[in-house]
A and B are shown apart, each in its own frame.
Chain A
Amino acid sequence: MSGTTKIKAKLKDGIVEVKALATHPMLSYQEAERAKKEVNFITYVVAKVKDKIVYEASTSQFLSKDPYMKFSFKGGAVGDTIELTWKDLKGNTDVSTEVIK
């Protein structure tokens, strides 16, 4: 729970559905120029349960601010911890965890 991503993970009919809301300004090159801020956006997201990757995405500057991601996978159990990590253009990382309910 040390990261900034809000995660909801629910098991239903053998499938775990995860809704995650990351906190990130996600400034594209154009927006950063206009706001006179440094461009920065999440470039990579990976979610793991028991060290097995259940979701992996390489992302661009075109995801909305505070990116919302929904994904599903099989093989998770109630009580398992899901760990979601993202990396951004500047090299910052954020690791957040949540328990599957």
Chain B
Amino acid sequence: MMNRRNFLSFGVTAVAIAVIPVNLSAIDFRETLPKAWTATKVDDAIKEIFGTATFTEGSINLSAPDIAENGAVIPVSFDTTLNATKIAVFQDANPESAVAVFTIPENAVIDYAIRIKLAKTGTVTVVAEANGKLYAVSKLVKVTIGGCGG
């Protein structure tokens, strides 16, 4: 009897969490997805954040310099017309691969820019989740002076 009651209440709780709309509660992925920030490989981090690492290439315009003289300040910008709800930026040159995860609000125009650090030459990957599918685009950035203080 106890087991069934516990099982039922677990089911109800799970449904309740799934129903909370994204806009009402701010989502801090550092708290909700701690493993995403320690994942070393890009694929692992993608799986932690999106649940899968299967994606279609394209549909996102990614801009990053071909050669970055200063690895500490590398401008990365991207835009897309995808109806994306979540977008994340990764790179494979630093100890952990996740750089940032954006929750896209409903009135957003996806045209974002940030500046990142790369310890050495690496590939920057932007992954967007739209309508349950993942889209990704990558760009190799050559770094002449490493961006993590060395």
Contacts and interface: CB of A to CB of B under 8 A. Distances in A.
Interface string A48-64: 00001111111111111
Interface of A, helix, strand, loop or mixed by DSSP: strand
A28 B114 CA distance: 16
Interface residues of A, number: 35
Most central of A28, A59, A60, A61 by chain B CB within 10 Å: A60
B65 interface: no
Contact of B28 (A17, A43, A75): A43
Contacts of A56: 26-27, 102-103, 105
B72 A64 contact: yes
Interface string A17-57: 10000000000111100110000000110100000111111
Interface of A: 15, 17, 28-31, 34-35, 43-44, 46, 52-65, 67-75, 87
17 contacts: A30-B95, A30-B148, A34-B150, A52-B23, A53-B26, A54-B107, A56-B102, A57-B101, A59-B100, A62-B94, A62-B116, A62-B118, A63-B114, A63-B115, A64-B147, A70-B112, A87-B28
